[in-house]
Amino acid sequence: MTPPSTCALRAAGVSLVLDLAGPGLPVVLHWGPDLGPLDDDALAALRRTAAAPVAGNGMDVPVAVSLVPEASTGWTGTPGLTGHRPDGSAWSSAFRTERVVLEPLDAEPDATSDAGPRVAATDPTGAGGRVVVHAGDDHAALGLTLEVELLAAGLLRTRATVTNRGETPYDVGGLALALPVPAVATDVLDLAGRWAKERVPQRRPLTVGTHLREGRHGRTGADAATVLVAGEHGFTFARGPVWGVHVAWSGNHRTYAERVPTGERLLGGGELLLPGEVRLAPGEDYRSPWLYGAHGDGLDALAARFHTHLRARPSHPRSPRPVVLNVWEAVYFDHDPARLAELATLAAEVGVERFVLDDGWFRGRRDDTAGLGDWYVDPDVWPDGLAPLADHVHALGMELGLWFEPEMVNPDSDLARAHPDWLLQVPGRLPVPSRNQQVLDVANPAVHAYLLERIVDVVRAAGVDYVKWDHNRDLVDAGSLPSGAPRVHAQTLAVYALLDAVRDACPGVEIESCSSGGARVDLEILERTDRVWASDCIDAHDRQHIQRWTAQLLPPELVGSHVGSGRAHTTGRTLDLSFRAATALFGHFGIEWDLARATPAERAELAGWVRTYREHRDLIHTGRTVRATAADDAVWLHGAVAPDGAEALYAVVVLDRPVTWPPGRLALPGLRPDRTYTVRPLVPGSVPDDVRVVPPWWPGPVTLPGSVLLAAGVQLPALDPDHAAVLHVRAVD
């Protein structure tokens, strides 16, 4: 039988329709709102009506922009595949479909027959599905395998693999995929940022040309686009059709939005390859990262696609996310076993469940200039090893965490002196130093073996339950000896392999992805880690911004969020404990504070917040994330609403002095209009007792229909800047 010419997949309110008629690569006919079940006649009609007319002075045939756009079709925008052979040939591809495989999501690749009806509505039940297209270009002697999946959460993902079918090498310059968006998508939103101020939103019109975001840090980057969104003008968290893409890759990458004069609008991305980084010998192949695509009505609906998908993974953390105390901002490099044991005791008293020993425990590490790479417990500081502290922590009922930075090395270390050739470099010069560090060539088997042996030995010997895996510098001039060939692509894959090996050797140990804070936050690193550190800045004012936009990709249980000391380490800003704790509440809650310097009253208040987190963490970590602003952007709201709408927790945050005051009513999004709710303040010291600043209902509780809370809302306290009020809402019917 002939392969299908049209394929329709549906899941969670999203439809994807692919034109597979060929002879070229698949073309997306529709990606967006659910079209409902479509029969053969409807699919055939959709295919006809989607074809563009031939414009004046254009190509004589309509240009079909496939998932891997090709110049050979007449496309003059960004090509999907770039590359060539040593003689300059094969620089332009013209792939022809050879075989199409339709699979359910849980099938092994190529496990089903490619037989099927001429037109196939493959998914009448809305369960999603998978399409694998095998194509070839005989003239260029290349093969291409294209995988397209519509996941159960309505999340679309696609990747491609190019194979060298020729007899000479083929240099891959780049392989990116692109997804079309409709003409209603006139605005673009993505994220920028820097160290300690990650994920800053930036918005602009989608004008003719290319809005290109390149990450050349050798890691995801604090300035990564994260999710690049195109949507209807004026879209908000709650409304407006939006489409977004994310490149799941922890090395160099490209993400772009493109609008061309002929009207097409595309969102695309892939790995950014350095010159000569991927050369395919005959028979070898290169596979691109997954490009994830999400569609929804409003940014919250878009984020919910990612959150639902992540929560459905078998590897997603299932146990309650433990309260963490990390010692970094408490002691820095000043490791004293007695002082740390006292800190562990105080941590247990306020309800901490995981005690994390940060940088400074290993040989020669008294500051950040030396010792990195020498992963042996320092006998001068820890004469009895880490076992006494581990035993003390475990006896207090807490887990033990330990900091590593395996990919980096100080030149002033025994490791660098013994193996200078293990450092990434261009022959004749080391990369410009950063944080007194260089980078180890993890793709070198000897480096991999050394790091795996040292990490596993320390973890097992001390009974470590949790690893904070850091990565504190960009990969600049990252060549590998002896040739100095670029190494970022191989390094990224090698780090994945090392993480996988550590997890295999230490089952049950959780791993955090930290990278100068939030510089390695992407869906591929999260296939191997259990949370991310969103930022080295735990100033609650800045963290409100950082966490608000990290939520565009990640649910709160995957985002470490800590209560710092009264004066923020990174900014010098002084903030009340209630605001610091209310900010940390909506994440994976932790503490980064020398509790020995806190007053008894502060420790008692902190213990109250810990109890609040432990009481409500299941709601926060399974609920749907909602975000909103008041009429004045100085007042924000965010929260978590239970999947069945029976309960919700909201934070109302004042970040600046609004133009008009008090703020007035604020609606509570996400509730069900057909249910009745009790609303009460959740106040472990969060709002002043001064009755003048709270509305009459505030001593509460108050009971209202969901329709009222959704439309009219409730009056809010007249809070000072950098203060928050937390509301608990529960259905009473």
C-alpha span between 188 and 268 (Å, rounded): 13
What are the angstrom distances between the C-alpha of 616 and each of 436, 558, 584, 729?
42, 16, 13, 12
Rounded to an integer, the average pLDDT of 718-730 is 93
Q: What superfamily in CATH does domain 625-731 come from?
A: Golgi alpha-mannosidase II (2.60.40.1180)
605: left (phi over 0), alpha (psi -120 to 50) or beta: alpha
The answer to which of 109-118, 267-276, 343-352, 567-576 has the lowest mean pLDDT is 109-118
**pLDDT-derived band of residue 108, with 50, 70 and 90 as boundaries?**
low
Q: Coil, strand, or helix at residue 264?
A: coil
Please spell the DSSP secondary structure of 192-236, one letter per residue: EEETTEEEEEEEEE--SEEEEEEE-SSSS-TT--SSEEEESTT--
**pLDDT-derived band of residue 685, with 50, 70 and 90 as boundaries?**
low
Rounded to an integer, the average pLDDT of 288-294 is 98
C-alpha span between 602 and 587 (Å, rounded): 21
- Name the DSSP class of 94: -
Residue 48 pLDDT greater than 80, yes or no: yes
Catalytic residue among 187, 374, 441, 470: 470
C-alpha span between 113 and 133 (Å, rounded): 13
**pLDDT-derived band of residue 119, with 50, 70 and 90 as boundaries?**
very low
Burial of 340-351, coded b for 16+ CB within 10 Å and e otherwise, reads: beebbebbbebb
Per-domain residue ranges of the chain: 6-53+64-312, 353-533, 625-731
DSSP H or E segment with residue 187: strand 187-194
Quote the percentage of the chain above a pLDDT of 90: 87
Rounded to an integer, the average pLDDT of 345-352 is 98
DSSP H or E segment with residue 416: helix 414-418
By the 8 A CB rule, do 325 and 468 touch? no
What are the angstrom distances between the C-alpha of 46 and each of 15, 39, 40, 62, 156?
13, 11, 10, 16, 20
C-alpha span between 484 and 428 (Å, rounded): 9
Residue 121 pLDDT greater than 50, yes or no: no
Rounded to an integer, the average pLDDT of 229-236 is 97
Residue 584's pLDDT is what?
98
Burial of 111 (0-12, 13-18, 19+ CB in 10 A): exposed
* CA–centroid distance for 446 within its chain: 31
The 10s digit of each residue's pLDDT in 393-404 is: 999 999 999 999
Residue 113 pLDDT greater than 60, yes or no: no
Rounded to an integer, the average pLDDT of 547-555 is 98
Instruction: Identify residue 50 by its one-letter amino acid code.
Output: A
C-alpha span between 516 and 224 (Å, rounded): 14
Q: What superfamily in CATH does domain 353-533 come from?
A: Aldolase class I (3.20.20.70)
Sign of CA dihedral 58, 63, 67, 69: negative
Instruction: Identify residue 397 by its one-letter amino acid code.
Output: G
Helix axes 577-585, 600-622, angle to 10 degrees: 20
The 10s digit of each residue's pLDDT in 157-182 is: 999 999 999 999 999 999 999 999 99
Instruction: Identify residue 269 by its one-letter amino acid code.
Output: G
**Residue from 556, 550, 562, 547 nearest 620 by CA:** 556
The question of whether 470 is a catalytic residue gets the answer yes
Q: Coil, strand, or helix at residue 449?
A: helix
**pLDDT-derived band of residue 209, with 50, 70 and 90 as boundaries?**
very high
Cis, peptide link before residue 696, omega less than 30° from 0: no
Asked if the domains 6-53+64-312 and 353-533 are classified in one and the same CATH topology, the answer is no
Q: What superfamily in CATH does domain 6-53+64-312 come from?
A: alpha-galactosidase from lactobacil brevis (2.70.98.60)
- Name the DSSP class of 395: H
Residue 435 pLDDT greater than 80, yes or no: yes
Residue 60's pLDDT is what?
75
Residue 120's pLDDT is what?
39
Residue 124's pLDDT is what?
52
Sequence-separated (6 or more) residues with CB below 8 Å from residue 251: 218, 219, 271, 488, 489, 491, 492
The 10s digit of each residue's pLDDT in 612-634 is: 999 999 999 999 999 998 877 89
Q: Across the strands, what pairs with 157? A: 149, 292
* Structure tokens given for 407: 């990919």
By the 8 A CB rule, do 20 and 5 touch? yes
Residue 111's pLDDT is what?
39
Q: Mean pLDDT, the chain, as a whole number? A: 94
The 10s digit of each residue's pLDDT in 704-721 is: 999 999 999 999 888 899
C-alpha span between 648 and 662 (Å, rounded): 24
Instruction: Identify residue 264 by its one-letter amino acid code.
Output: E
Q: Coil, strand, or helix at residue 421?
A: helix
Residue 107 pLDDT greater than 80, yes or no: no
Please spell the DSSP secondary structure of 453-483, one letter per residue: HHHHHHHHHHT--EEEE---S---S-EETTT
Residue 690's pLDDT is what?
60
Rounded to an integer, the average pLDDT of 47-73 is 86
Residue 112 pLDDT greater than 60, yes or no: no
The length of the chain, given as a count of residues: 733
C-alpha span between 454 and 377 (Å, rounded): 10
Rounded to an integer, the average pLDDT of 541-570 is 97
Residue 98 pLDDT greater than 90, yes or no: yes
pTM of the predicted structure, to 2 decimals: 0.96
Residue 117's pLDDT is what?
31
**Residue from 571, 724, 529 nearest 638 by CA:** 724
Residue 58's pLDDT is what?
76
**pLDDT-derived band of residue 437, with 50, 70 and 90 as boundaries?**
very high
Residue 122's pLDDT is what?
47
Beta strands in 85-128 (DSSP E): 96-103
Residue, of 587 and 105, whose pLDDT is higher: 587
- Name the DSSP class of 132: E
Residue 511's pLDDT is what?
98
Burial of 259-294, coded b for 16+ CB within 10 Å and e otherwise, reads: bbebebbbbbbbbbbbeebbebeeeebbebbbbbbb
Please spell the DSSP secondary structure of 5-72, one letter per residue: SEEEEEETTEEEEEE---SSS-EEEEEEE------HHHHHHHHHHHSPPPPTTS-SS-----SS--GG
Residue 483 neighbours by CB distance under 10 Å: 10
Residue 109 pLDDT greater than 60, yes or no: no
Residue 692's pLDDT is what?
66
**Residue from 703, 698, 707 nearest 668 by CA:** 707
C-alpha span between 309 and 520 (Å, rounded): 19
The 10s digit of each residue's pLDDT in 472-527 is: 999 999 999 999 999 999 999 999 999 999 999 999 999 999 999 999 999 999 99
The question of whether 536 is a catalytic residue gets the answer yes
Residue 606 pLDDT greater than 50, yes or no: yes
Q: Coil, strand, or helix at residue 506?
A: coil
* Structure tokens given for 133: 């297209």
C-alpha span between 570 and 572 (Å, rounded): 6
Residue 575 pLDDT greater than 70, yes or no: yes
C-alpha span between 630 and 236 (Å, rounded): 12
Pairing of strands 170-180, 81-84: antiparallel
Catalytic residue among 530, 536, 539, 542: 536
Owner of token pair 């952007």? 633
By the 8 A CB rule, do 585 and 653 touch? no
HSE on the CB side for 575, CA within 13 Å?
30
C-alpha span between 80 and 714 (Å, rounded): 51
